[in-house]
Structure 1
């Protein structure tokens, strides 16, 4: 089984392996190198085992885990609550363990309802730095003031969860100046970086997700 280095609990992001479409093995193992604690949802357990990865924890309602092999050094938590999804159960567990940053893979693709719900969980846990990864994109909630250096042409999308007010950007091809984005009205998809250098994004209120994409 693959291993991962040990750091003090809570200092590095944890990794959740959900039950959507698999990302590349290279992406998965690359994230594992920086995540000291790995959680697999029960629906992904058999796929994870086939990759010779041993999670620290498997969590879910275990509807899909009848008569499966239990690994010696893995903890199993059965939570049959129908009030939360298995991904929410995993996030709640990590928040209780004082993780302030969580990376999530296999959370998109397959069922559209699961993908949409997983994306909207970003709005529920704004006090936790949650990043969704797949082979083409990385999505996370922006702080009210954000800056990062990007290469010219990098694809960036601004997606409001509900409504986001007073958005101002610098160094994007399609700039925003004190503008509002809202679901069903206006979004900021398929923007790109104007030139090599720092991109800044700020807003006054709401929840704004940044998606960094590659074709």
Structure 2
């Protein structure tokens, strides 16, 4: 993927709508932080139902109803015909923005949700927060101080072997080896603002939903550490 493949470019965060479960307040919460809206295939139906103007629809168009696409200007509909990637993958990689807020990629079908998590790890250079009913999910960056309060649940789920360090977690992660099929870090608890350092782009971070706005602000800081693209 090169810069010439980008369909949507914005210097502000972008909201990306998918076809999964969407809960009350999801779209409004995302658009308040990321007013430009893009749909991944069947997410276009969700946008139209909510009265949201779309900057683009991106996908293979095998799930977006034809009557929905007919209501969107043709120049905003971008079909990506290959079947080697998901619609979330197709859309995320064609958005050039400092942050993407994904709505409609959690809940509903579990295979779609797991595929979305895999995409987060596949493209660690593209910061993205997925919004769920009660939680947000993102790939843990190299270093971050989370806007958590005492008692907040902080869950860490490895997608590959990875190590890291923490401050102000009830159960510190220093010196621990995390891996699928091995140690995971679910249901840890914050003792205050949690500082994390990860040694690789392979750890999912799951936090309370109410932290989305302050976490987005943290990710948008010019001194925020980001992962490079995978080789």
TM-score category of the 2 structures, normalised to the smaller one = 0.7 to 0.9
1:41 positional shift? 2.0
User: In structure 2, what is the Cα distance between the partners aligned to 1:171 and 1:149?
Assistant: 12
Q: What is the CA distance between 1:206 and its match in structure 2?
A: 4.9
CA distance in 2, matches of 1:131, 1:34: 12
Alignment partner, residue 229 of structure 2? none
Within 5 Å, give how 1:39-50 maps onto structure 2. 39-50=38-49
Q: CA–CA distance in 2 between the matches of 1:177 and 1:92?
A: 33
Counterpart position of 2:178 = 181
Contact residue 101 and residue 128 of structure 1 kept, 8 A: yes
Q: Which residue of 2 aligns with 1:171?
A: 168
Partner of 2:104: 106
Aligned to 2:50: 51
Q: Name the one with the larger helix percent.
A: 2
Extract structure 1 runs of 4+ deviating beyond 4 A: none
Structure 1, 80-89 or 144-153: larger mean CA deviation: 144-153
1:212 deviates by: 0.1
* Range with bigger deviation, 203-212 or 12-21: 203-212
2-structure distance, mates of 1:142, 1:92: 18
**Aligned residue in 2 for 1:209:** 204
TM-score, length of structure 1 as denominator length? 0.85
Distance 2:121 2:207 in 1: 18
Q: Which has the higher strand share?
A: 1
Taking the aligned partners of 1:44 and 1:173, their CA distance within structure 2 comes to 39
**Is 2:14 the partner of 1:17?**
no
> Any idea what SS the aligned residue of 1:171 has?
strand
Q: Aligned Cα RMSD in Å?
A: 2.0
Partner of 2:66: 66
- The answer to whether the 8 A contact 2:147-2:193 is kept is yes
- 1:193 alignment partner, SS class: strand
Q: Distance in 2 between matches of 1:77 and 1:205?
A: 33
Q: State the partner residue of 1:75.
A: 76
Is this contact kept in 2: 1:138–1:213, CA < 8 A? yes
Cα distance in 2 for residues equivalent to 1:126 and 1:34: 21
- Match of 2:154, SS? strand
Distance 1:131 1:31, change over 3 A: same
SS at match of 2:93: helix
Equivalent position of 1:3 in the other structure: none
5+ residue gaps, structure 1 = 1-8
- Shift of the 23–205 alpha-carbon distance from structure 1 to 2, 3 Å rule, reads same
Aligned length: 200
